[in-house]
Amino acid sequence: MSINIPRGTQDILPGEVEKWQLIERKARELCERYQYHEIRTPIFEHTELFHRGVGDTTDIVQKEMYTFKDRGGRDLTLRPEGTASAVRAYVEKKMFGLANQPVKLYYMGPMFRYERPQAGRFRQFVQFGIEALGSSDPAIDAEVISLAMNLYKELGLKKLRLVINSLGDKESRNAHREALIEHFKPRIGEFCSDCQTRLEKNPLRILDCKQDREHPLMKTTPAITDFLNNNSREYFEKLQKYLNLLDIPFVVDPNLVRGLDYYNHTAFEIMSEAEGFGAITTLCGGGRYNGLAEDIGGPETPGIGFALSIERFIAALDAEGIELNLNEGIDCYLVSLGEEAKEYTVGLLQQLRQAGFSAERDYLDRKIKGQFKAADRIKAKFVAVLGDDELKNEVINLKDMTSGEQKEIKLDSFIKVFQELQDRGGL
Ligand code: HAM
């Protein structure tokens, strides 16, 4: 019996993986421009980190984590997201003491959530995320948002919608919390058991319950924006001012609460508005998490970041019909006939590759026609043909596959000539 891939995971094969590589390259390049530096943290962490970081009452922690005991009896969890790990490393490695502040980090790698798989929702997915720690200037909130928007735009996405909200500071959140309890309490019996426990522990989480979404009380919930104190309101206004300054269009949605507990002040999501994108339209989510470093044992540190998945990025590109400009085709394919010529290409291939060219030869003992077909399939820009006769005369026949032109070249100057004609752009 054959063994299949686990549900909610993907094999990304050659042909498709080039899209991933391009997005990843672009993300790294953008981080360089914005001065975010890569951090690599473990794929698994102590389970406690996510309980404290992401929050006990969230769907992620309650229902979606891949948690296991290792052989030493330790409670470990495959990371469901990257912020808690980045902040754990920031605290543990005392990055708050670095001379260069704020600390601006980025990461890229697989995350794991036991969710119901559907279009755009996987159990293993790859997030690219950034975190800026140590600044509570709303200008950096705008910078974080602009990096995400620019990444999407530079790869051609147009149908984007940026939604922002403020979740306020502690005082504003407490006032909102009381209002939520008052709102839901009289009819909490009509809600799912999770929401019933959330009522006292964390009523905000009721708002992103997937089960009770249609309950009439959900449509009239008190909005956080009505409870923002002056400080929080000013912060939110400044963010909007900066977004306007950066020419980034946005809409304010007072119901945007995000599914993780660590947020305060800025919360945002970027959605795809492409037709036929599917039910899940959120491409990217993020926000400010000023209390998180403290919650996991570090000093009081302001922070903000976002994460987006490459899976949904590619789905959005597909939905907008955007073909990425992938660097396709190889520089040279070596066609050979005759035993000696075949042997000779082993060394010649090596020389081409060492000179920095992408090059290939036949390994299946194909006839000359088959070798040309193989060269075509991998979109060779040049084909060099070497037979035993050419070998005797110490020449090789080079064909420019774009123009169809051919030229005989001295074998001992082949690499040099090949290099020169690359600079010229053809034969
Ligand atoms: P999140 O909203 O849970 O936030 O996830 C961020 C993004 O990850 C989503 O917008 C989506 O693109 C992608 N994503 C989440 N779950 C899945 C899935 N099952 N399949 C495919 N893609 C998925 C966070 O993870 C926060 N750590 C973001 C953040 C960073 N906030 C501050 N800093």
Per-residue H/E/C for 153-186: HHCCCCCEEEEEEECCCHHHHHHHHHHHHHHHHH
Give the residue from 297, 319, 341 where a domain finishes. Answer: 319
pLDDT at 303: 98
Report if residue 252 sits inside a domain. yes
Residue 156 sits in the same domain as residue 30: yes
How many whole angstroms from 156 Cα to the centroid of ligand 1? Answer: 21
pLDDT digits (tens, 9 = 90+) for 55-107: 998 999 999 999 999 999 999 999 999 999 999 999 999 999 999 999 999 99
- Mark whether 292 and 351 lie in a shared domain: no
Residue nearest atom 25 of ligand 1, based on CA coordinates: 81
Question: What is the gyration radius of the CA atoms in the chain, in angstroms?
Answer: 28
Q: Domain boundary residue among 255, 285, 319? A: 319
CB neighbour list of residue 283: distance below 8 Å, 6 or more residues apart: 152, 160, 270, 271, 272, 308, 309, 312, 313, 316
Q: Is residue 324 part of a domain?
A: no
What is the distance between the alpha carbons of residues 271 and 291, in angstroms, rounded to a whole number? 27
pLDDT tens digits, 231-249: 999 999 999 999 999 999 9
Which residues does a 6 A CB cutoff place in the pocket of ligand 1? 81-83, 113, 115, 120-122, 125, 127, 129, 131, 259-260, 282-287, 289, 305-309, 311-312
Strands 332-337, 303-309: parallel, antiparallel or unpaired by DSSP? Answer: unpaired
In a domain, 290, yes or no: yes
Determine the atom of ligand 1 nearest the C-alpha atom of 283: 12
Same domain for 141 and 107, yes or no, is: yes
User: Residue 422 pLDDT > 90, yes or no?
Assistant: no
Share above pLDDT 90 across residues of the chain, in percent, rounded to a whole number: 90
Which CATH number is 340's domain given?
A: 3.40.50.800
For residues 307 and 382, state if they share a domain. Answer: no
Among 319, 341, 375, residue at a domain's last position? 319
Which residues contact residue 118 at a Cβ distance below 8 angstroms, ignoring those fewer than 6 apart?
279, 280
CA–CA gap between residue 293 and residue 60 (Å, rounded): 19
Which residue type does 322 have?
I
CA of 31 to the centre of ligand 1 (A): 18
**281 vs 34, more confident:** 34
Atom of ligand 1 nearest to the CA of 115: 19
Q: The domain that contains 82 carries what CATH number? A: 3.30.930.10
**Residue 254 forms part of a structural domain:** yes
| Of 10, 208, 312, best ligand 1 pocket probe by most atoms within 8 Å of the beta carbon | 312
Question: Do 267 and 141 share a structural domain?
Answer: yes
Per mean pLDDT, which range of 39-43, 217-221, 329-333, 420-424 is the poorest? Answer: 420-424
For residue 299, the SS3 value is: coil
pLDDT digit string (tens) for 135-174? 999 999 999 999 999 999 999 999 999 999 999 999 999 9
Asked if residue 388 and residue 245 are part of one domain, the reply reads: no
Measured in Å, residue 405 CA sits from the centre of ligand 1 at 52
Same domain for 136 and 46, yes or no, is: yes
pLDDT tens digits for range 288-307: 999 999 999 999 999 999 99
Residue 183 in any domain: the answer is no
Amino acid at the residue 47: T
For the record, the structure tokens of 287 come out as 């926000």
Atom of ligand 1 nearest to the CA of 284: 10
Q: Strands across the sheet with 395-400, in order? A: 359-361, 332-337, 382-387, 395-400, 406-410
In 3D, which of 128, 125, 167, 168 has the Cα closest to residue 147? 128
The residue among 371 and 15 whose pLDDT is bigger is: 371
Q: Are 273 and 378 in the same domain?
A: no
SS3 346: helix
Burial 222-243 (b: 16+ CB within 10 A, else e): eebbebbeeebeebbeebeebb
Residue 326 within any structural domain of the chain:
no
Q: What is the pLDDT of residue 1?
A: 87
pLDDT in tens, 351-406: 999 999 999 999 999 999 999 999 999 999 999 999 999 999 999 999 999 999 99
Same domain, yes or no, for 278 and 131? yes
Task: Look at residue 4 and tell me if it is in a domain.
Answer: no
Lowest mean per-residue pLDDT among 40-49, 143-152, 273-282, 361-370: 273-282
Instruction: Tell which atom from ligand 1 comes closest to the C-alpha of 312.
Output: 12
Q: Are residues 150 and 287 in the same domain?
A: yes
Residue nearest (by alpha carbon) to ligand 1 atom 16: 121
pLDDT at position 209 over 90: no
Q: Does residue 201 contact residue 232 with C-beta atoms inside 8 Å?
A: no
Nearest residue by C-alpha to atom 31 in ligand 1: 286
Instruction: Tell me if 149 is assigned to some domain.
Output: yes
Query: What is the rounded distance in angstroms from the CA atom of residue 161 to the CA atom of residue 152?
Result: 11
- Per-residue pLDDT tens digits for 326-352: 877 999 999 999 999 999 999 999 999
Co-location of 259 and 281 in the same domain? yes
Across-strand partners of 387?
Answer: 337
Q: Is 371 exposed, middle or buried (0-12, 13-18, 19+ CB in 10 A)?
A: buried
Do both 267 and 126 map to the same domain?
Answer: yes
129 touches 227 (CB < 8 A) = no
Is the separation of the CB atoms in 374 and 362 below 8 Å?
Answer: yes
Give the chain's domain count.
Answer: 2
Domain that includes residue 117, residue range? 17-169+229-319
Please give the single-letter amino acid code of residue 184: F
Closest CA to 52 of 295, 266, 274: 295
Average pLDDT, the chain: 95
Give the distance (Å) from ligand 1 centre to CA of residue 284: 6
Residue 259: burial class (beta carbons within 10 Å; 0-12, 13-18, 19+): middle
